[in-house]
Amino acid sequence: MHGSGHGSKSGGVKMIELKDVRKSFGSLEVLKGVSLTVQKGEVLSVIGGSGSGKSTMLMCINGLEPIQGGQILVDGIDVHARGTDLNKLRQKIGIVFQQWNAFPHLTVLENVMLAPRKVLGKSKREAEEIAVKQLTHVGLGEKLKVYPSKLSGGQQQRMAIARALAMSPDYMLFDEVTSALDPQLVGEVLDTLKMLSEEGMTMILVTHEIRFARDVSDRVAFFHKGLIHEIGAPEQVIGNPQKPETIDFLKSVL
Partner 1 sequence: MLNYTFHWRPALNALPDMLGGALVSLQIAVLSMVIGVVFAVFLALGRQSNNKLFYGFSTGWVELARNTPALFQVYMTYFGLGSFGIQLDSYVALLAGIAFNNAGYLAETFRGGLRAIPHTQTRAARSLGMSAPQAFRLIVLPQMFRIVFYPMTNQMVWALLMTSLGVTVGLNTDLTGVTQDLNVRTFRTFEYFAIAAIIYYLLAKFITLSSRLFAWRLFRY
- Residue 212: strand, helix, or coil: helix
Name which position in 114, 144, 195, 210 contacts partner 1 (CB under 8 A).
114
Radius of gyration in angstroms for the set of CA atoms belonging to the chain, rounded to a whole number: 18
Number of Cβ within a 10 Å radius of residue 18? 23
Choose which of 90, 214, 219, 224 interacts with partner 1 (CB under 8 A). 90
Sequence-ordered alpha helix ranges (H) in 122-182: 124-137, 153-165
> Which residues ranging from 20 to 79 are in contact with partner 1 (CB under 8 A)?
62, 64
Is 90 or 219 the residue whose CB approaches partner 1 more closely?
90
Single out the residue of 96, 128, 127 nearest to residue 206, CA to CA: 96
- 4 or 87: whose CB is closer to partner 1? 87
Q: Kindly identify the residues of this chain, within the stretch 182-241, that bind partner 1 according to CB under 8 A.
A: none
Whichever of 102 and 237 has its CB closer to partner 1, that residue is 102
The three-state secondary structure class of 173 is strand
Q: Write the binding mask 94 to 113 for partner 1: x where contact by CB under 8 A, - elsewhere.
A: xx-x-x-x-xxxx-------
- Cβ at position 229, least distance to partner 1 in Å: 28
Total interface residues for partner 1 by CB under 8 A: 27
Residue 79's identity, in one-letter code, is V
Which residues have CB under 8 Å from 5's CB, separation 6+?
Answer: 88
- Cα(96)–Cα(93) distance, rounded to whole angstroms? 10
User: Which residues contact partner 1 by CB under 8 A?
Assistant: 62, 64, 87-88, 90-91, 94-95, 97, 99, 101, 103-106, 114-115, 118-120, 147-149, 160, 163-164, 167
